[in-house]
Amino acid sequence: MLDTLHIKASGVPIYVQIRDQILAAIASGILKPGERMPTMREVAVALRIDLNTVRHAYESAQETGAIVLVRAQGTYVAERPPEIPFESHDEKLEQLAQKTAISAYNSGINLPQLINRLNEIANGQMAKGEST
């Protein structure tokens, strides 16, 4: 996982960039449930950043329920994804949609093309789910 982490001079706080990359690695399956994650020190050294910045990123990711910090044992990907309370599901969906649209725009990506690609990904995942 360390080789997939990178920092950009984008105005986004470094800890947020790290947290989001951790969450993306979990969502994409790069990091599997129960898998031990790199230590905070390993991440700090690899990215040449302050250990407290990595600690902040890990704690922020832990708040989402995606990872579990076990004192004196390490950090692990949670066994099951965090559940979103029903009443906040629509709010989370709206926030994600807004962030994605803004990110696509800032990256020069055509939003209808992105929507088509997301549909392809969703259909591919549904096809895999139906065959198992």
pLDDT at 47: 94
Choose between 5 and 39: higher pLDDT. Answer: 39
pLDDT digits (tens, 9 = 90+) for 36-65: 999 999 999 999 999 999 999 999 999 988
pTM over 0.75: no
What Rg do the C-alpha atoms of the chain give, in angstroms?
A: 16
Cβ-based neighbours of 100, under 8 Å, separated by 6 or more: 114
Rounded to 5 degrees, φ, ψ at 36 are -75, 135
Distance CA(78)–CA(35), nearest Å, equals 8
pLDDT at 15: 93
**Mean per-residue pLDDT, 70-74:** 91
Choose between 8 and 34: higher pLDDT. Answer: 34
pLDDT digits (tens, 9 = 90+) for 76-124: 999 876 665 555 667 777 788 888 888 888 888 888 999 998 888 887 7
User: Is pLDDT of 29 > 90?
Assistant: no
Distance CA(73)–CA(94), nearest Å, equals 37
Of the ranges 33-37, 66-70, 107-111, which one carries the lowest mean pLDDT score?
107-111
Question: Which CATH code fits 2-77?
Answer: 1.10.10.10
Name the residue with tokens 């982490």. 5
DSSP for the chain, please give it. Answer: -GGG-----SSS-HHHHHHHHHHHHHHHTSS-TTPBPPPHHHHHHHHT--HHHHHHHHHHHHHTTSEEEETTTEEEE-SSPPPPPHHHHHHHHHHHHHHHHHHHHHTT--HHHHHHHHHHHHHHHHHHHHH-
